[in-house]
């Protein structure tokens, strides 16, 4: 498990929880959206609604002078389209939120019909960090009738659940990426659930992680293994059955874990702070394809009776050793991990998933340029081969380059294709490796 600070043990109090319906949210970095207008937000919301996402979590940094205009635009678009949003107060990006500023935001925006509420009609509140300000929330909760699910991942779960006499109604864990060349496990999720007792657990699901930013405010340059992560994690959601799921993220381009569209005008950060434009033209749209299926399965406990069969694929756009690694480390010792060369954690492969009613009679072909490989399914749905769900596998780049097209056929008939992403290159486009992926 990843802890953002040192461990500390303390006693904790378990209060009766408010059981809410299962909900799926997506994390939005409001600091990235200054340039977006109403039409952009209506587009974002429609895409989220198509994916069956219930609400956007609005991460707001304290004192950011772009917040107010962005929030007005977002709430208006959400009201118009009958979508929901709620706040995650970021206590780390620009320092802790003063209690009065939190109260002011909740008072003004909590009255909107777009503000997300629990089944008990409480306003849903979250944070990014801020455990030292836990006591503020005793009054904030009372004054605003809120349901409070902070991310205090810098503390261990037992410590976090006990802060300010157990002020949290649940906890969000930001721990969404594996340590080393492994698949993520549910060990940390189970630790949270155990510490929480009958309080709510909000589980993080993320498709990728690569960041390479350098400016006066911060320097960060590492990756965590993203191969197989997205679909593995959704399978874990079905096992863990958390009260809430938060997708990390909709638009955090700087850490390459966006599942929303790449909008050129949101990429200003890269011009000033990144050695290469590692997000431009790197669509992640493919990571939304199976969400309606996954989300319905999570909410009902069984695979939907009817769904459209689809295929999705993701790959990096050059072999790992095609150019220097850019100083990017695999893992990060600030998280207590052993750093290793990034190519140890990332395979030069095209990963595909097929959402099928059954794999009976199904074949997979992966074309890279003129070369065609036949794929197999190495991972099948939890109920086994022949059952509805996502079937997965990968093929190596194998020295090929060009457009990537993954085709699923059944008894010779094409069922679905995934294509149209940036081509796989033989060499790097820039002087250092872009460790981001394309998802189609
Ligand atoms: C991850 O899990 C898949 C099965 O879902 C397996 O095929 C693969 O080998 C695992 N990868 C690693 C690095 O453990
Ligand atoms: C992105 O695509 C546009 C349009 O094809 C092109 O002009 C631009 O150079 C591309 N940028 C990168 C970084 O690939």
Model confidence pLDDT, tens digit, residues 299-313: 999 999 999 999 999
* Gap between the Cα atoms of 259 and 155, Å rounded: 28
- Is residue 142 within 6 Å of ligand 1 at its C-beta? no
Check whether 212 has a pLDDT greater than 50. yes
Confidence band (pLDDT; 50, 70, 90) for 2? low
Lateral strand order in the sheet of 123-128: 146-148, 123-128, 84-90, 55-61, 23-29, 244-247, 200-205, 170-172
Q: Which ligand is nearest to the CA of 180?
A: 1
CA angle (48, 49, 53) in 5-degree steps? 65
Predicted pLDDT at 21 = 77
Predicted pLDDT at 218 = 83
Model confidence pLDDT, tens digit, residues 319-353: 999 999 999 999 999 999 999 999 999 999 999 99
Query: Nearest 10 degrees: CA dihedral of 140, 113, 88, 47?
Result: 170
- Is residue 344 within 6 Å of ligand 1 at its C-beta? no
The single-letter DSSP state of residue 361 is T
* Gap between the Cα atoms of 34 and 68, Å rounded: 10
Return the SS3 of 14. coil
Model confidence pLDDT, tens digit, residues 94-110: 999 999 999 999 999 99
Q: Which CATH architecture has domain 310-439?
A: Sandwich (2.60)
Check whether 15 has a pLDDT greater than 80. no
Check whether 18 has a pLDDT greater than 80. no
User: What is the pTM for the complete model shown?
Assistant: 0.95
Predicted pLDDT at 8 = 35
Check whether 5 has a pLDDT greater than 60. no
Confidence band (pLDDT; 50, 70, 90) for 127? very high
Q: Which long-range contacts (CB under 8 A, 24 or more apart) does 398-401 make?
A: 398/368, 398/371, 398/373, 400/368, 400/369, 400/371, 400/424, 401/368, 401/369, 401/425, 401/426
Residue nearest to atom 3 of ligand 2 (CA): 281
Run of H or E including 408: strand 404-410
Please state the atom number of ligand 1 nearest to the C-alpha of residue 181: 13
CATH 3.20.20.80 occupies which residues in the chain? 23-300
- Is residue 378 within 6 Å of ligand 1 at its C-beta? yes
Predicted pLDDT at 11 = 39
Check whether 3 has a pLDDT greater than 60. no
Mean pLDDT of 118-138: 97
Check whether 66 has a pLDDT greater than 90. yes
Share of the chain above pLDDT 70, in %: 95
- Using the mean position of ligand 1's atoms as its centre, give its distance from the Cα of residue 379 in Å: 8
Predicted pLDDT at 14 = 41
CATH 2.60.40 occupies which residues in the chain? 310-439
Run of H or E including 165: helix 157-166
Q: Which carries the bigger pLDDT value, residue 216 or residue 251?
A: 251
Look over the chain and give the mean of its residue pLDDT values, rounded to a whole number.
95
- Is residue 181 within 6 Å of ligand 2 at its C-beta? no
Rounded to whole angstroms, what are the CA distances from 382 to 80, 235, 302, 311?
39, 8, 11, 18
Pick the CATH number of 23-300 from 3.40.250.10, 1.10.10.10, 3.40.50.300, 3.20.20.80: 3.20.20.80
- Is residue 281 within 6 Å of ligand 2 at its C-beta? yes
Q: Which ligand is nearest to the CA of 281?
A: 2
């Amino acid at each position: 498990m990843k802890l953002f600070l040192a461990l500390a043990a303390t006693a904790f109090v378990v209060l009766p929880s408010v059981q809410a319906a299962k909900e799926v949210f997506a994390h939005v970095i409001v600091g990235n959206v200054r340039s977006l207008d109403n039409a952009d937000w209506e587009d974002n919301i429609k895409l989220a609604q198509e994916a069956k996402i219930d609400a956007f979590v609005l991460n707001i940094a304290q004192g950011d002078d772009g917040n107010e205009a962005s929030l007005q635009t977002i709430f208006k678009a959400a009201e118009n389209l009958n979508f929901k949003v709620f706040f995650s107060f970021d206590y780390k990006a620009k320092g802790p939120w003063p209690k009065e500023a939190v109260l002011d935001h909740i008072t003004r925006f909590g009255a909107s019909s777009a503000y997300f509420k629990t089944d008990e009609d409480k306003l849903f509140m979250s944070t990014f960090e801020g455990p030292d300000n836990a006591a503020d929330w005793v009054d904030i909760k009372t004054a605003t009738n809120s349901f409070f699910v902070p991310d205090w991942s810098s503390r261990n779960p037992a410590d976090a659940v006990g802060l300010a006499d157990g002020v949290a109604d649940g906890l969000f864990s930001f721990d969404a990426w594996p340590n080393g060349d492994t698949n993520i496990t549910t060990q940390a999720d189970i630790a949270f659930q155990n510490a929480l007792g009958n309080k709510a657990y909000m589980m993080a699901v993320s498709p990728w992680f690569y960041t390479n930013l350098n400016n006066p405010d911060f320097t960060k340059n590492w990756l965590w293994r993203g191969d197989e992560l997205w679909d593995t994690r959704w399978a874990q959601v079905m096992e863990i059955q958390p009260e809430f799921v938060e997708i990390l993220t909709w638009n955090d381009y700087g850490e390459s874990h966006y599942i929303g569209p790449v909008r050129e005008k949101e990429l200003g950060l890269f011009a000033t702070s990144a050695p290469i434009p590692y997000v431009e033209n790197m669509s992640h749209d493919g990571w939304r394809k199976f969400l309606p299926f996954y989300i319905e399965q999570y909410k009902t406990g069984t695979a939907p009776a009817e769904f459209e069969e689809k295929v999705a694929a993701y790959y990096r756009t050059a072999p790992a050793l095609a150019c220097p690694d850019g100083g990017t480390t695999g893992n990060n010792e600030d998280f207590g991990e052993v750093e290793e060369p990034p190519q140890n954690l990332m395979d030069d492969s095209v990963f595909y998933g097929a959402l099928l009613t059954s794999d009976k009679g199904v074949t997979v072909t992966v074309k890279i340029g003129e070369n065609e490989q036949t794929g197999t399914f190495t991972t099948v749905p939890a109920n086994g081969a022949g059952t509805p769900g996502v079937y997965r596998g990968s093929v190596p780049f194998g020295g090929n380059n060009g457009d990537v097209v993954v085709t699923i056929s059944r008894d010779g008939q094409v069922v679905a294709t995934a294509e149209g992403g940036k081509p796989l290159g033989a060499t790097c486009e820039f002087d250092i490796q872009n460790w981001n992926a394309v998802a189609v």
